[in-house]
Structure 1
Amino acid sequence: MANYVSPESIKAGARDTSQRLDNPIHNERQIRVICIGAGASGLLVAYKLQKHFTNYSLTVYEKNEAVAGTWFENRYPGCACDVPSHNYTWSFEPNLSWSAVYPPSNEIFDYFEGFARKYCLHQYVKVRHQVVGAAWDHVNGGYTVQVQDLATGKITTDHCDMLVNAGGVLNHWKWPAIPGLDKYKGVLLHTANWDESVSLEGKVVGLIGNGSSGIQVLPAIRDKCKKVTTFIREPTWVSPVQGMEQHKYTPEERRAFAEKPGALLDYRKNIESGLNGQFGIFLKENRVNIDTHAYMKQQMKEKLNNAFLEEKLIPDWSVGCRRLTPGVDYLESLTKPNVQVVYGEILEVTEKGCLCDDGNEYPVDVLICATGFDTSFRPRFPVVSPSGENLQDKWAKVPESYLGIGVAGFPNYFCMLGPNCPIGNGPVLSAIEAQCDWMLKIMDRFQSTNMARIAPKEEAVRDFVEFKEWFMKRTVWSDPCRSWYKPGPDGPVVALWPGSTLHYIEAMSHVRFDDFDITYAGNRFAFLGNGYSQTELDPTADWAYYIRERDDDAPLSTGGRRKLISKTGTVTTRDVVVFSGNKEEAERVKAETSAKL
């Protein structure tokens, strides 16, 4: 429903709508944006606003002392990205300096810091400033935002028309819920809050967790330590997808990337096509999943070469139910003489170490918790809607969004990488770009009209969640594994998009304004203004730009635009595998794969 106040009620305080009537059509009023977080998403918001908008103000509040978010915070040994480096960049901003397919985290920090520096994005960022609350402003519209200066502790208020929460998903780290953690008298570390002054040389070290962080830590520390006892409570798939193995770039390769025209672009496109072609891994009874399952099982067996570890660590559930990780040298490390694998539950942490369900206590000098983050999507501070509802309460149990970015009842609010966005479906930075472009299209409508509020309709969110639940039953994500994608082994999948990354990019290519509740300040047609076009008031513009020698219009249909953007017809050979739902065909593929192995 699109609501508006009558023309007679146009007045100051309703975004000075009366001034719009004295200006040409689509006059761009000033728009005030606050972005929470200067990680990858927040930096892209700043870049896109700067590139595409005029007459705006932007402040990015960042709690850390530097930009880059998780890549500034995470400094544990072995920390790296699990996406090939040349495709962990913005689509328009390649990087020539990557050292390897999976480079260390400091290189990724350098990339985002360099991106911010190159485009002068630091001018928008206030570091060491943490947002502690946001509430709808009933007088002026938009949000009143409370910000704490972490250097002084002082809390001040700011105001914005549009609030962007780019605080990230893997950002709020947590200790494991194990009794007695506070009793431990050794050195206690968390991978997301690493103390670089702690030496592990010659120490007996305990490592809790075999998620992405734990898998990276073990190979990086084992040679330094006298002994590493790694505590594992469940199996997981660990192996790079075929064709995505670790590789350090040679000087010749790096020189070719820098000097040979098109070499780096072709390389990046080839990897991205491979990543996008892997979506079938996540679909049940799909040939890509079956083939990958067999390949990874074989790889794990070969690397472990240990019957006990094979039995305990190779899962029964499908590949992809938990986030895949390359696990460079991890499986091999589990078999080293100074590495002890303890499989099962830790009952409690004692003064000396860990007491496990096998009845044994394992003393350690240093205990490393590679136990991840709070991935509930619940905001870490109150976000209060016009009706007085707190998003913390709304998302306390099961978070539900509109396309991973909007929230019903919370106008002018966007959550980058919100619930059910493609954070594990494929190349994530491409998805962030799609989110940012979509969000800025709404900001453009806000700026060039007298829109006051815009929020997804509750019925639109309900329909999206209903579709999502239907789709997820077809995926391996719904298998009964313990994953941060969902709140429990059998819970709903709340972290992932119901489709591929390419699917998301196309879904976000335009804004479905019929899915939104929109409120205007005054007559909705006030944007028509004084009857003039901005073009005819611009003496440098072509006042007859629509007169042409031929029809060179961009396609008006969705299909036509897709074919133009995706360069349909330029690729002549490719094996396309889609979901078939044919169990007999799946069994045949399984049998063929087993025979080959």
Structure 2
Amino acid sequence: MSVTELAHKSHTDPSQFRISYEDAVQVLGPDPSIPKDDTLPTLYSKSEIAIIGGGFSGMVAALTCNKMNTKQSRDFVIFDKHANFGGTWFANTYPGCASDIPALWYSFSQELNNNWSELRPPQYEMEEYMLQVAQKHGLERHSHFRTVITRAVYSDENSNWTVTARNLATGQRIVHTSKILISGQGQLVTPNQLKAKGLENFKGVYMHSAIWNHEVSFKNKKVVVVGNGCSAAQVVPELLRKYEVESIHQIARTKHYIMPPLPPITYLLYQLASYSRYTLYLMRLIVASVAECRWPLYKGDGILARMVRWVNTRKSVNYMKTAPEKYHHLLIPDYKVGCKRLIFDYRYIPSLHDPRMHLTGHEIDHITENSVVLSDGTELEADIIVACTGYNINKSLSTFELIGRNGVDARKVWNDDGITAYKTVMIRDCPNFFLIAGPNCATGHSSVELACENCAAYFERIAPKILSGAYKSVCVKTKAYYNWFNEIQGELKNAVFGTPFGGCYSWYASDSYNPTTYPYSQIFYWWDMRHPKWDDFDVETDPNYLSQDSKLKQS
């Protein structure tokens, strides 16, 4: 564990720390395009480990490979469709974009930063931090950017993976072979575009918050923001503060529990702790522990759960009541707290007092050339429409074809049986394949970076056997895979995450199951991922390795 210190170059020129609009449209837009040019020679390469994704998940996997510190573990390659590290922190650049979890906790545990500009720093500062960590650990020399994976196939004969990719600049085909394959591409990948009648006729500017065009001027413009979730709660106040808009009409599609900002003393304590990596780590543990105290509200209806739920509900409702009274019926939910993702506020509730701000709960009926018409007949003039409509989580988890042993199509398995991964990490019939921040790793109160490190800890305990040659392959048993799925889905039915018990519908869950959230506490998650149950694995040994090992012991 070491300490990182930022130069804060990103505050001088944020544009150097974000994706270009053209690249964002190409890979994240409603019609993403992957060029193909088979007149160019196919590039062949190989490594011990291949990592898909260069965001938090992929970087945690890479740092873990370095940490294992063997010749085999350091032989890894990272593929990412973007032009640099960062993942969602490189691609999501909308105004106000920031971590809603304190950065002291939303950062690599082995690289704590001692000079965050605020508790929840802006996107460009988070990206600067990730680039600095990547440079410090030499991850650039392992990386292939602007490269999108289209297919991954496991060889039963050779016990390895072959991934097929395309260079997004040239269309050149790339074929890479590895003993271990890691997918760390995350869940906030595929934007949910606004679906409204007549949108194609709109003469103004339309953009999704995940594909922000910084060339568009908002000065003196009438803006309609669709959605009122986490991204909207960051976009709206920033447009009012810095973009000189004429007006904002926000369409609140659902209600959310909005928590007040952390008290200023929290940042002061962080500054006092920043002189040493030990005190920084202690501060991190304190922040994590306080957040974990919120866990009981998510599950069950016992005395402790009801008490924690009541405390957090009161805290949220009292804060939301500081908004103009005319908006209370649009803001305050009637379901259990935690059923939808909590919004940890910074400036949104205060921004509702701005006279340029208007909040409505009516749905969109249709869109004309110059306006948005609501279901009650109200016509909102619009120069710009901003869709804060979230992501397609299920689609984000399976962006490439994945063919496991005996030709099993993993995407078909997920389509037929439901999206899941054993312990959030392993898929049936996919030997030597690991997910970082895969299905059911999310929470409503914790840091996803912790989930990434938990998954990497699981990988770290299994991979050495494969890399050393002791095991040709390790795969979760089909029975254990489905037992896990049934176990966690049973547990999640008693949780608040988008269930009848919780009293709402949310992106956490579909009508039949929940592929998103973790059913237990983060303390249990941390412990469980560091103690694999080897009886749940199909292990293929290498007779040649056993023979060599016996000879070494005899000698």
- Sort the TM-score into its range (normalised by shorter chain): 0.7 to 0.9
User: What is the deviation of 1:413?
Assistant: 1.2
In 2: Cα distance, 1:475 partner to 1:78 partner: 31
Contact between 1:169 and 1:375, CA under 8 Å: does it hold in 2? yes
Shift of 1:283: 2.4
Higher relative contact order (CA 8 A, sep 6+): 1
- Which of 251, 272, 297 does residue 256 from structure 1 map onto? 272
Cα distance in 2, alignment partners of residues 173 and 419 from structure 1: 18
Residue aligning to 2:431: 411
Within 5 Å, give how 1:408-557 maps onto structure 2: 408-477=428-497, 478=499, 479-487=502-510, 490-522=511-543, 525-526=546-547, 528-532=549-553
Question: After superposition, where does 1:235-274 map in structure 2 within 5 Å?
Answer: 235-240=255-260, 244-245=262-263, 249=267, 256-259=272-275, 262-274=278-290
TM-score by length of 1: 0.79
CA drift of 1:248 comes to: 8.8
Paired residue secondary structure (2:343): coil
Mapped partners of 1:494, 1:182: distance in 2:
33
Distance in 1 (alpha carbons) for counterparts of 2:227 and 2:51 = 33
Q: How does 1:42-57 map to 2 (within 5 A)?
A: 42-56=58-72, 57=75
Supply the distance in 2 between the matched residues of 1:387 and 1:348 (Cα, whole angstroms): 49
SS at match of 1:514: helix
Does residue 226 in structure 1 map to residue 242 in structure 2? Answer: no
Match of 2:357 in 1: 339
**In structure 1, what is the equivalent of residue 36 of structure 2?**
none
Structure 1, 443-452 or 78-87: larger mean CA deviation? 443-452
The 1-side partners of 2:475 and 2:122 are apart by 40
Structure 2 equivalent of residue 9 of structure 1: none
Residue matched to 2:37: none
CA 1:96 to 1:182, structure 2 compared with 1: closer, same or farther past 3 Å? same
Residues 113 and 260 from structure 1, CA distance in 2 versus in 1: closer, same or farther, beyond 3 angstroms? closer
Separation in structure 1 between the aligned mates of residue 198 and residue 265 of structure 2, nearest angstrom: 42
* Alpha-carbon distance between aligned partners in 2 of 1:445 and 1:433, rounded to the nearest angstrom: 20
Contact 1:450 1:526 in 2 (8 A): no
Partner of 1:554: none
Alignment partner, residue 382 of structure 1: 401
User: What whole-Å deviation, never above 9, does each CA across 1:435-464 have from its counterpart, x for those lacking one?
Assistant: 102112211111234422221112112211
Structure 1 residues 114 and 260: alpha-carbon distance in aligned structure 2, compared to 1, 3 A threshold: closer
Aligned to 1:295: 315
State the Cα distance separating 1:246 from its structure 2 match.
6.2
Q: What secondary structure sits across from 1:34 in the alignment?
A: strand
Name the counterpart of 1:546: none
Question: Which of 319, 323, 327 is residue 341 of structure 2 equivalent to?
Answer: 323
- Give the letter for the 2:342 counterpart: L
Amino acid at match of 2:351: S
Offset from partner CA, 1:248-286 (integer Å, 9 cap, x none): 946xx6763343685433332221210122211212431
Task: Answer yes or no: is the 8 Å Cα contact 1:378–1:395 preserved in 2.
Answer: no
Any conservation in 1 of the 2:480–2:536 contact (CA below 8 Å)?
yes
The answer to whether the Cα contact below 8 Å between 1:34 and 1:164 also exists between their aligned partners in 2 is: yes
Separation in 2 of the partners of 1:66 and 1:111? 13
Deviations 1:377-404 (A, max 9, x none): 5411111122223222222362021011
Q: Is the 8 A contact 1:404 1:421 kept in 2?
A: yes
Corresponding residue of 1:391: 410
Once the two structures are overlaid, the 10-residue window that deviates more, 440-449 or 311-320, is 440-449
Cα offset, 1:358, TM superposition: 1.2
Equivalent residue for 1:275?
A: 291
Tell me the percent identity.
Answer: 27
Q: Residue 192 in 1 paired to residue 215 in 2?
A: no
Equivalent residue for 1:19? Answer: none
Map Cα deviations across residues 41-79 of structure 1 (whole Å, 9 max, x no partner). 111111111221322221100111110111011111000
Unaligned runs of 5+ in 1: 1-29, 537-597
> Are the equivalent residues in 2 in contact too, given 1:74–1:193 (CA < 8 A)?
yes
Whole-angstrom distance in 1 between the partners of 2:263 and 2:102: 9
| Cα pair distance change 1:350/1:458, threshold 3 Å | farther
Counterpart CA distance in 2 for 1:261 and 1:34 is 31
1:182 to 200, 203, 226: 200
Which AA in structure 2 matches 1:96? Answer: N
Distance 1:177 1:457, change over 3 A: farther
Question: In the alignment, what sits opposite 2:387?
Answer: 369
- When residues 389 and 185 of structure 1 are mapped into structure 2, their CA distance, relative to the original with a 3 A threshold, is farther
User: How far 1:419 sits from its partner (Å)?
Assistant: 1.1
The CA distance in 2 between the partners of 1:208 and 1:297, in whole Å, is 23
Q: Indicate the SS of the match to 2:60.
A: helix
Q: Which has the larger radius of gyration?
A: 1
After TM superposition, the structure 1 stretch with the greater mean CA deviation from structure 2, 155-164 or 137-146, is 137-146
Compare 98-107 and 326-335 and name the one that shifted more: 326-335
Return the offset for 1:332.
2.2
Q: Per the alignment, do residues 457 and 425 of structure 1 end up closer, same or farther by CA in structure 2, a change over 3 Å counting?
A: farther
Deviations 1:467-486 (A, max 9, x none): 21222233211224232211
**CA 260–442 in structure 1, closer or farther in 2 if over 3 Å, else same:** closer
Distance 2:265 2:80 in 1: 34
- Report the equivalent of 1:71: 89
**How far apart are 1:305 and its partner, in Å?**
3.5
Look up the SS of the partner of 1:304 in the other structure.
coil
Q: Where does the alignment leave 5 or more consecutive residues of structure 2 unmatched?
A: 1-45
CA distances 1:342-383 after superposition (whole Å, capped 9, x unpaired): 212212332223222112222210111111111015411111
